[in-house]
Amino acid sequence: MGTSPNIPIDNIVSPADPGLFPEEATGLTAQPQESSSLFINAVEQDQLPPIQMYSGLDAAKNPQLVGLISQIFNESFGFRPDGKPYRLGPKSMAERLQQTDYLFIAGDERFGIGYLFGKEAPSSQGRIAWIESMAVLPLYRKRGVATELVKHFARVTKGATRLGCATPNPIAALIVSRVVPGKLYIGRCGPPYNLRKLLHEIREHCFDLRGCQIDERNFTIKTGFSPLSRSDQREWHPQTPQAMPTWWTWVEDLPNEFEALLIIERDSH
């Protein structure tokens, strides 16, 4: 992934009511949206657009925003077992947003090019920040957009001692592991009992774990479909010379109906 300019946390836009967010988010203040012309100029000049944040409930009530997230999702993912495209229409997307805590948009509700939504799930071991979905339009990848989205999610959920996600794509896992410092569990890593227990405790709180078969030994879930699209890449082709992570090939060779689980035990502050 390429390097990207540092987008300050002040560029996040949040609703005025601090009660919509958990404690970590209440210090964020609303900022005016960038105009469409400024956004387009920034993208054309290979600059990153500002990152804006919404509560999941507020996002679900905004038809324009729901339609945008649905469109980005539909242009970013693959196919179901019956060969039909894997798609989420506005109604299904609104239902998912209602069940999440945070939505981050690269751009705004009219001209967004990428998004991330996730939540903090409770467990007997404390809260875990879970990325439920992240996508960047194929035309705007390899510019650091996903990296900035993960940075902002990690910052807002800094009170959670762990951060995790499920992904079929090693690039997403690489981005998350580089942004969030800590002990990484992915692939055939021999996860300890407490992490295996954690997954079972949070599965009903996390949409992408609910109803999926969890393989504790290989640290995967079986989704039954391939969320990868033709524009996704699994092969190791860094823009600058660097060593391949030890787990990369394992995720790269996952069958299409599986996703890798990733959990990071964050470094203590």
DSSP letters along 140-163, please? G-SSSHHHHHHHHHHHHTTTSSEE
Instruction: Reply yes or no on whether the pLDDT at 110 is more than 90.
Output: no
Overall average pLDDT of the 235-241 stretch: 69
Q: What is the pLDDT of residue 95?
A: 95
Output the 3-class SS for 65-129. Answer: HHHHHHHHHHCCCCECCCCCECCCCHHHHHHHHHCCCEEEEECCCCCCCEEEEEEEECCCCCCEE
Specify the 3-state DSSP secondary structure of 217: coil
The encoded tokens of residue 221 equal: 């879930």
The encoded tokens of residue 244 equal: 């391949």
Q: Between residues 222 and 10, which one has the greater pLDDT?
A: 222
161/11 Cα distance (integer angstroms): 25
For residue range 78-109, what is the model confidence (pLDDT) as tens digits? 666 666 767 788 999 999 999 999 999 999 88
Overall average pLDDT of the 103-126 stretch: 94
- Would you place residue 16 in the very low, low, confident or very high pLDDT band (cuts 50, 70, 90)? very low
- The single residue listed with the structure tokens 């539909």 is 74
- Would you place residue 216 in the very low, low, confident or very high pLDDT band (cuts 50, 70, 90)? confident
The encoded tokens of residue 200 equal: 């079972």
Q: What is the mean pLDDT of the chain?
A: 80
Half-sphere exposure of 98 (CA within 13 A, CB side): 8
Instruction: Reply yes or no on whether the pLDDT at 27 is more than 50.
Output: no
Reported CATH class of domain 9-266: alpha beta
Can you name the residues that pair with 165 across neighbouring β-strands? Answer: 131, 262
Instruction: Reply yes or no on whether the pLDDT at 254 is more than 90.
Output: no
Q: What is the pLDDT of residue 28?
A: 34
Instruction: Reply yes or no on whether the pLDDT at 161 is more than 80.
Output: yes
Q: Between residues 100 and 27, which one has the greater pLDDT?
A: 100
Instruction: Reply yes or no on whether the pLDDT at 241 is more than 90.
Output: no
* 13 sits in which H/E element: none
Instruction: Reply yes or no on whether the pLDDT at 197 is more than 60.
Output: yes
Q: What is the pLDDT of residue 177?
A: 96
Instruction: Reply yes or no on whether the pLDDT at 127 is more than 60.
Output: yes
Q: What is the pLDDT of residue 9?
A: 35
Can you name the residues that pair with 250 across neighbouring β-strands? Answer: none
Overall average pLDDT of the 166-187 stretch: 94
Q: What is the pLDDT of residue 235?
A: 67
138/126 Cα distance (integer angstroms): 36
Instruction: Reply yes or no on whether the pLDDT at 117 is more than 90.
Output: yes
Instruction: Reply yes or no on whether the pLDDT at 15 is more than 50.
Output: no
Specify the 3-state DSSP secondary structure of 263: strand
Please tell me what DSSP assigns to residue 225.
S
This prediction has a pTM of: 0.80
197/210 Cα distance (integer angstroms): 15
109/64 Cα distance (integer angstroms): 6
For residue range 46-67, what is the model confidence (pLDDT) as tens digits? 678 999 999 999 999 999 999 9
Tell me the domain boundaries of the chain: 9-266
